[in-house]
Amino acid sequence: MWLEAKDWTRSPSKFFRNYSVDDFRLILGDGKEQMNAKKQRRIPILLSLHESYFEEIKKGIKRYEYRKRYVKQPSFAYIYCTSPAKAVKGIVVFDTPIIGSPELISEISEKETGEGALTAEYLKGSNKGHAIPVVSWQEIEPISLDELRAHIAGFVPHQSYYRLDNKPELLEYLKSRKP
């Protein structure tokens, strides 16, 4: 696993590329085309993130998202930017997470951002962590918390993430608003 993770941090061009609108349609599964066999099914997620981190993803500074818990498969995440924005502002496509010890994940963070100590502190007390590679991103027209609550009864943003395949009404609403 370490050799694989080390290769990812040395050759990100092998794992990162820009996706076209058509690629996003395939990933988001709007029913117009089947995803080809080469692409693994991506788990739909609603991910809470500070807006500053989403900005870093957009600038190409943040190439991994670090989490204590996450799905094991590739995913696409609608990004809910927390206060003060309180809105879904984009979509990020993530590759298969690197799952490993807090030490391994902190080493990846150190090589990527120089913030390995911060990641180690975040993962302290956990048995494992996730380094989730960012593949691509796309902004969408913001969907405010008030709008979400008006269309989805009882909507409360999660502090971490929701799997949207378990919340079909919310997923369909978000998909209806995609670019």
| R_g (Cα) of the chain, nearest Å | 16
Residue 6 is predicted with a pLDDT of 39
* CA of residue 50 relative to chain centroid, distance: 12
Domains with residue ranges and CATH for the chain: 2-176 (2.30.130.30)
Residue 25 is predicted with a pLDDT of 52
Contact 78, 174 (CB under 8 A): yes
SS3 118: helix
Contact 149, 88 (CB under 8 A): no
Residue 3 is predicted with a pLDDT of 31
Backbone torsions φ then ψ of 164, nearest 5 degrees: -80, -15
User: Rounded CA gap, 73 and 40, in Å?
Assistant: 8
- The length of the chain in residues reads 179
Residue 114 is predicted with a pLDDT of 94
Residue 101 is predicted with a pLDDT of 97
- Mean pLDDT, contiguous 10-residue spans, the chain (179 residues): 38 42 51 44 96 96 96 97 96 97 97 95 97 96 96 94 95 86
If residue 51 lies in a helix (H) or strand (E), which one and from where to where? helix 51-59
Q: Supply the pTM of this predicted model.
A: 0.77
Non-local (6+) Cβ contacts of 62 within 8 A are 53, 56, 113, 134
Residue 29 is predicted with a pLDDT of 57
Contact 178, 139 (CB under 8 A): no
Residue 125 is predicted with a pLDDT of 96
Residue 40 is predicted with a pLDDT of 63
Residue 47 is predicted with a pLDDT of 98
